[in-house]
Amino acid sequence: TDSYAVFGNPIAQSKSPAIHRHFCDQTGEDMAYTKQLVAEGEFKQAADTFFNGGGRGLNITAPFKLDAFHYATRLTPRAERAGAVNLLIKENDGSITGDTSDGIGMVNDMLNMGWELEGKKLLILGAGGAVRGVLEPLLGQKPSSVTIANRTVSKAEQLVKDFHDLGELNACSFDELSDGHFDVVINGTSAGLHGERVNLPDNLLASQAACYDMSYAAEPTGFLRWAEEQGAAKLTDGLGMLVGQAAESFYAWRHIRPEVVPVITELRRKMT
């Protein structure tokens, strides 16, 4: 049985083993997938032990995505640009490929729900690692423009510099946002994780706007409550993104594409 794992700290909350169990049930693949708590500063040692022991692949969650980026023997172009790796693949020659599947997981989730991105005006809140990881796949959907708003504007400006060749990108502060008529608003800040909420002006949303929170919780997040108050036509949290990145990982390792929708439904049922 090939073995896989997810490394993180904390890790107890991880749904990845359950998601991959669903994928195995669906596809009949035989693999083991465990979660492993890794001490800060010990990523390399833990990854060496795992791969030297025959492990075939890893998912990487906070705070090790940059460690995984440096650990990989080679990077996919999208991981190179994202500056982060959430997926390690042991190749037959023993080398380790680093990839990122978070962004494609999110974009696929949006497309699965029937959201349109092409030609649409997008707003992203936040400019940290999570946002950097989704910009390339989002811009690949050819939105008319993407505005990145962040508390620290210089970080949003840096992302514009790093990704401007892929599409129409702007940076601003939250205060500078007004009457945006945005079709799709994505929350990529970690404010909610600290029990905080970004203060946003009214009238940001176009009619029929869709709002996506990259984080998820059993209860609606602060951002999704805001979206509802503002009359968003569609809204969702990031559970589908989590399952989507797992599906891309499973595909990279097993070369079989699992179905995500039944797994999202099942996890949602268990959460509430």
Residues making contact with ligand ATR (CB under 6 A): 126-130, 150-152, 155, 189-191, 194, 196, 198
Place of tokens 């706007």: 209
> Alpha-carbon distance 45 to 41, whole Å?
9
Residue 114 known to bind ligand: no
Residue 9 known to bind ligand: no
The CB-nearest residue to ligand ATR is: 128
- CA angle 50–53–59, rounded 5-degree value: 30
CA distances from 9 to 39, 60, 62, 64 (A): 7, 10, 6, 8
Place of tokens 């030609």: 119
Closest separation in Å from C-beta 197 to ligand ATR: 8
Residue 218 known to bind ligand: no
Closest separation in Å from C-beta 96 to ligand ATR: 22
Closer Cβ to ligand ATR, 15 or 254, answer by number: 15
Closer Cβ to ligand ATR, 31 or 60, answer by number: 60
Is there a contact between 113 and 134 (Cβ–Cβ < 8 Å)?
no
Closer Cβ to ligand ATR, 32 or 153, answer by number: 153
Closest separation in Å from C-beta 32 to ligand ATR: 28
Is there a contact between 165 and 105 (Cβ–Cβ < 8 Å)?
no
Is there a contact between 130 and 102 (Cβ–Cβ < 8 Å)?
yes
Closest separation in Å from C-beta 131 to ligand ATR: 6
Is there a contact between 102 and 81 (Cβ–Cβ < 8 Å)?
no
Per the residue annotation, which of 65, 90, 120, 121 is the catalytic one?
Answer: 65
Active site residue 65: yes
Residue 49 known to bind ligand: no
Closer Cβ to ligand ATR, 46 or 156, answer by number: 156
Closer Cβ to ligand ATR, 100 or 189, answer by number: 189
Residue 152 known to bind ligand: yes
Residue partners of 156: CB distance under 8 A and separation at least 6: 127, 148, 149, 150, 171, 172
Omega before 143 cis (within 30°)?
A: no
Nearest to 100 by CA among 116, 83, 85: 85
Closest separation in Å from C-beta 191 to ligand ATR: 3
Place of tokens 């032990």: 49
Residue 216 known to bind ligand: yes
Residues serving a catalytic function are 65
Annotated binding site: 14-16, 61, 86, 102, 126-130, 150-155, 214, 216, 238, 245
Annotated binding site for NADP(+): 126-130, 150-155, 214, 238
Annotated binding site for shikimate: 14-16, 61, 86, 102, 216, 245
